[in-house]
Amino acid sequence: MTDRLRARELFDELGERLELRWLAGQRGATRVLERGEHLSRRPSLAGYLNVIHPNKVQIIGSAELAWLDGLDARNRWEVLQKIMDARPLAMVITQNQTCPTDLRDAAEESDTPLWTSPRRGYELLNLLQYHLARALAPRVTLHGVFMEIYSIGVLVTGDSGLGKSELALELISRGHRLVADDAPEFTQIAPDVLDGTCPDLLQDLLEVRGLGVMNIRQMFGDTAVKKNKYLRLIVHLVRAQDPSAEAMARITGESTSRKVLDLEVPVVELPVAAGRNLAVLAEAAVRLHLLRSKGMDPAAAFLARHSEFLLQGEAP
């Protein structure tokens, strides 16, 4: 789990794509941006030069340089001092514009990373905001097998020994895709989006008791695995109990929800028992979820039809 980002890491990750060059402040390569540090402040993680509410990555374009040039010597020195005192993670000059000498000197003296790029300001802004928000987004690791079933992300959970991996293997053989086994990582990249990925150590691997660790990509081909997927449904395997215990559950099914980070994710419980085809049931659960997401609930429709039937029977 990444809960901090250093200036050097940001430069290495985006340096080639944004064609960044380091102008000054190399000693500030270890400057750190903590997760959640920006939440209590008004500006975004990256933005155009802001002295009142300084962004963590300050983008300096032609308009910002012109504004600095319009200040008298004293005000200009005070502004540069405020910018450096705010300790931004880095500053980036757009379109390879000439860096003012006093700005370079101030960055060098304060160990503030100062970069330049041939890209335009809006390109830098979009890419930096997206990368920083994703790198520092809340994330969690859950136990289970994360699959793509009928184009939606489904996490299969349950106690050890209930057959999660066997179910995943059967689903893969039916044309569905594996994202991660055992420890998928979920990142909240938007208020209503959980993106699930696989740790590098477990990439393409699935462990099945009796068979050991298998490389799904090598066995089934590239189309059998997927790099990431949004989590939309959890299929939870449970041990079968007395079938007469919950009569209403026979009609409506066992549907609840589970809170993952800040989102409530629908959960469908599937009892595990001899003779039950869990792969078919998992596919049906996904199809039912897709129907419900469109406002169609067969169980509710049946109960409404049943009530109407009873009312008709009571009518004189």
Query: Residue 314: inside a domain, yes or no?
Result: no
Confirm whether residue 192 is marked as ligand binding.
no
Confirm whether residue 160 is marked as ligand binding.
yes
Q: State how many domains the chain has.
A: 2
91 and 163 in a single domain? The answer is no
What is residue 36's predicted lDDT score, i.e. its pLDDT?
Answer: 62
From CA 6, how far away is CA 31, in angstroms rounded?
6
Report the catalytic residues.
143, 164, 182, 250
120 and 144 in a single domain? The answer is no
Structure tokens at 289: 């979820």
Range of the domain at 81: 4-135
203 and 189 in a single domain? The answer is yes
Q: Which of 91, 107, 135 delimits the end of a domain?
A: 135
Confirm whether residue 164 is marked as ligand binding.
yes
Residue 278 has pLDDT above 80, yes or no: yes
Confirm whether residue 165 is marked as ligand binding.
yes
Residue 247 has pLDDT above 60, yes or no: no
Task: Determine which of 40-54, 187-201, 202-216 has the lowest per-residue pLDDT on average.
Answer: 40-54
Q: Which of 135, 150, 175 delimits the end of a domain?
A: 135
155 and 100 in a single domain? The answer is no
Three-class SS string for 17-61? HHCCEEEECHHHHHCEEECCCCCCCCCCCEEECCCCCCCCEEEEC
Three-class SS string for 249-304? HHHHCCEEEEEECCEEEEEEEEEECCCCCHHHHHHHHHHHHHHHHCCCCHHHHHHH
Confirm whether residue 158 is marked as ligand binding.
yes
Q: Which of 135, 165, 189 delimits the end of a domain?
A: 135
In the block, tokens 């987004």 appear at 137
Residue 167: pLDDT band with limits 50, 70, 90: very high
Residue 1: pLDDT band with limits 50, 70, 90: very low
Taking the mean position of all CA atoms in its chain, how far away is CA 228? 9
286 and 217 in a single domain? The answer is yes
Task: Quote the pTM value.
Answer: 0.74
Query: Which CATH number goes with the domain that contains 106?
Result: 3.40.1390.20
- Please return the burial class of 75, using the count of CB atoms within 10 Å of its CB with bins 0-12, 13-18 and 19+: exposed
Write out pLDDT tens, residues 92-134.
999 999 999 999 999 999 999 999 999 999 999 999 988 888 8
Query: Which CATH number goes with the domain that contains 213?
Result: 3.40.50.300
299 and 160 in a single domain? The answer is yes
68 and 156 in a single domain? The answer is no
What is residue 265's predicted lDDT score, i.e. its pLDDT?
Answer: 94
275 and 146 in a single domain? The answer is yes
188 and 292 in a single domain? The answer is yes
Query: Residue 315: inside a domain, yes or no?
Result: no
Confirm whether residue 56 is marked as ligand binding.
no
Of 35-39, 135-139, 173-177, 256-260, give the range with the top mean pLDDT.
173-177
Confirm whether residue 162 is marked as ligand binding.
yes
Residue 315 has pLDDT above 70, yes or no: no
From CA 162, how far away is CA 270, in angstroms rounded?
11
From CA 77, how far away is CA 62, in angstroms rounded?
19
